[in-house]
């Protein structure tokens, strides 16, 4: 019998006393053998409930070792794992349960009252699991044996269903196979030099590909230990760093650490690697981090549908403002969004990728799959980018964020880079909103540095020195903070909604 993910990630560790999930100080915690015993007991519960290979299991859970074991149990049983953001409302959960046709929902006991009627109406069972692991699922697992024979699965069988954020329409379920997930973990482990000697500081959520598949699968594949924090907390991360060798984060992790005077060169002198993804890392953050710690953050680029596509090198220049080169096995090209023709170096177009990491298509959306996956296998990502003289990819934004004002194409990232460098500006987001004369107008949303006062006229005068007039914001708004999702991405769709009538 073969089960690609189980055979590579779990089977080598059965019965192992090696530390898998360590406590905050890097000691104690859960061994690989204990973790897999728990996963096996959960797998028996899933099988006893009648779930069969290909059935969907929805998990809306706080981060915990038990929640991670449920992912492992799903792999063992061939059940398709569907993790969801804990912030989703009952109304949003109705869509995911209905669209996925889930057979089982596992949720926090505090949400069970609201979600049980919805699940029942859609034919799904409900079990509870709280942040401490307690709940109906653990109770059922208590009497089960610690071993489970994994069901047979092929490389192209689905392992997970991850829904995209749905900012431009209803969320789409990206179908990820055993081969998709395993191939990416193998490449990243090799490229980033992970071994069983590593201790990975894990403060990411596990309902997202970054925390669940990139971080966790790499650790499982290599036998590394994870310091498994429930969430990012500056005090907890600073306390845990002395016991870690590597950390995966999003840009807000690093900006928060840099705001804390305890975060110093000496604190991380022993660290091997810091990586960043899920949202663009400002070049200024990159340089400040190096100046403070001596480390250059390794930035990479991926998405729900593909896992990781590119990475700055482990050995070699890590260029601020770039996401590196295509990973081994990944083909990447920059194409004209209208014609699909490949563009030369330096020209801005849409990123298209092809490789074993690229998903199997969108769940129950063959037409949408056909729109975004070409017949030759290249996936049209919707991300706008160019390549530099060394082949590094420079992302300039999402195609949906492109602003067309007076017939001119304006890339928000280009304007943001100028605004971010102005005195007193901490960060910015540039959007296009309806305008009666130009079709769209550029609006800059600025967050000031602590204690700074930003004047719109001064901002526009200084930005106008470096920006062509058609790129210059027609309006500047100062706010305390930019709206972000749980992975740190600025939610420009919310900004466009908020300022849609700026010129009405």
Domain boundaries, the chain: 4-18+30-153, 190-398, 402-498
CA distance linking residue 420 with residue 451, whole number of Å: 16
pTM: 0.87
CA distance linking residue 276 with residue 318, whole number of Å: 12
Which contacts (CB < 8 Å, 24+ apart) does range 138-141 have? 138/66, 140/45, 140/48, 141/38, 141/41, 141/42, 141/44, 141/45
190-398 against 402-498: fold identical: no
pLDDT value of position 404: 82
Return the sign of the alpha-carbon dihedral for residues 62, 68, 69, 72: positive
CB atoms within 10 A of CB 360: 18
Q: What is the maximum span of the chain, computed from C-alpha positions, in angstroms?
A: 71
- The DSSP bridge pattern shows strands 393-398 and 349-354 to be unpaired
DSSP character string of 188-228: HHHHTT--TT-EEEE-S-SSSHIIIIIIHHHHHHHT-EEEE
pLDDT value of position 167: 46
Structure tokens at 287: 């340089």
CATH of 4-18+30-153, one of 3.40.50.300, 3.40.50.980, 3.30.1370.140, 1.10.3720.10: 3.40.50.980
pLDDT value of position 406: 78
pLDDT value of position 504: 74
CATH superfamily of 190-398: ANL, N-terminal domain (3.40.50.12780)
pLDDT value of position 168: 47
Query: Rg for the chain (alpha carbons), in Å?
Result: 23
Task: Decide: 279 and 249 in contact? Cβ < 8 Å.
Answer: no
pLDDT value of position 305: 96
Contacts of 42 by beta carbon, 8 Å cutoff, 6+ apart: 69, 70, 72, 73, 137, 141, 144
pLDDT along the chain (504 residues), means of 10: 94 95 79 97 98 98 96 98 90 93 97 96 97 95 93 97 72 95 98 97 94 97 96 95 95 91 96 91 89 97 95 96 96 94 94 97 95 96 94 88 81 88 93 84 94 93 88 94 85 91 86
pLDDT value of position 417: 87
pLDDT value of position 166: 53
- Cα angle vertex 238, ends 33, 71, to 5°? 30
Task: State which fold the 402-498 domain adopts.
Answer: GMP Synthetase; Chain A, domain 3 (3.30.300)
First-residue to last-residue Cα distance in the chain: 64
């Amino acid at each position: 019998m073969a089960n690609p993910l189980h055979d590579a990630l779990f089977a080598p560790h059965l019965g192992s006393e090696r530390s898998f999930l360590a406590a905050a100080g890097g000691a104690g915690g859960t061994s690989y053998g204990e973790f897999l015993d728990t996963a096996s007991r959960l797998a028996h519960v899933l099988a006893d409930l009648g779930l069969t290979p290909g059935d969907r299991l929805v998990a809306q859970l706080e981060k915990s070792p038990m929640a991670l074991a449920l992912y492992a149990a799903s792999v063992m049983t061939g059940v398709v794992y569907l993790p969801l953001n804990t912030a989703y409302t009952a109304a949003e959960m109705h869509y995911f349960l209905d669209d996925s046709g889930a057979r089982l929902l596992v949720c926090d006991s505090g949400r069970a009252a609201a979600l049980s009627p919805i699940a029942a109406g859609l034919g799904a069972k409900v079990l509870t699991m709280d942040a401490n692991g307690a709940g109906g699922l653990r109770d059922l697992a208590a009497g089960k044996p610690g071993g489970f024979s994994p069901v047979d699965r092929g490389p192209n069988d689905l392992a997970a269903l991850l829904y995209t954020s749905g900012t431009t329409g209803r969320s789409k379920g990206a179908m990820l196979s055993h081969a998709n997930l395993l191939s990416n973990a193998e490449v990243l482990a090799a490229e980033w030099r992970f071994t069983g000697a590593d201790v990975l500081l894990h403060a990411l959520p596990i309902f997202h590909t970054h925390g669940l598949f990139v971080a966790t699968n790499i650790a499982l594949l290599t036998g590394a230990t994870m310091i498994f924090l429930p969430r990012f907390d500056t005090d907890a991360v600073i306390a845990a760093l002395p016991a870690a060798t590597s950390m995966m984060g999003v840009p807000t992790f690093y900006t928060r650490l840099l705001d804390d005077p305890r975060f110093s060169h000496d604190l991380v002198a022993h660290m091997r690697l810091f990586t960043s993804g899920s949202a663009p890392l400002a070049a200024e953050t990159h340089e400040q981090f190096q100046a403070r710690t001596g480390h250059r953050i390794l930035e990479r680029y991926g998405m729900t549908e593909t896992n990781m596509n590119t990475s700055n090198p482990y050995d070699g220049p890590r260029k601020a403002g770039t996401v590196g080169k295509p990973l081994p096995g990944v083909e990447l090209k920059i194409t004209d969004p209208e014609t699909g023709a490949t563009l030369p170096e330096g020209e801005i177009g849409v990123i298209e990728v092809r490789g074993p990491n690229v998903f199997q298509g969108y769940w129950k959306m063959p037409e949408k799959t056909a729109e975004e996956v070409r017949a030759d296998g290249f996936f049209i990502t919707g991300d706008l980018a160019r390549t530099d003289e060394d082949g590094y990819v420079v992302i300039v934004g999402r195609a949906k964020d492109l602003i067309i004002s007076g017939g001119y194409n304006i890339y928000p990232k280009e304007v943001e880079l100028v605004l971010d460098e102005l005195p007193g500006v901490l960060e910015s987001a540039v959007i296009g909103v309806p305008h009666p004369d130009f079709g769209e107008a550029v609006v800059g949303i600025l967050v000031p540095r602590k204690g700074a006062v930003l004047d719109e006229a001064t901002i526009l005068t200084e930005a106008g020195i470096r920006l062509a007039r058609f790129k210059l914001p027609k309006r500047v708004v100062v706010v305390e903070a930019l709206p972000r999702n749980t992975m740190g991405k600025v939610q420009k769709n919310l900004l466009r909604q908020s300022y849609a009538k700026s010129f009405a």
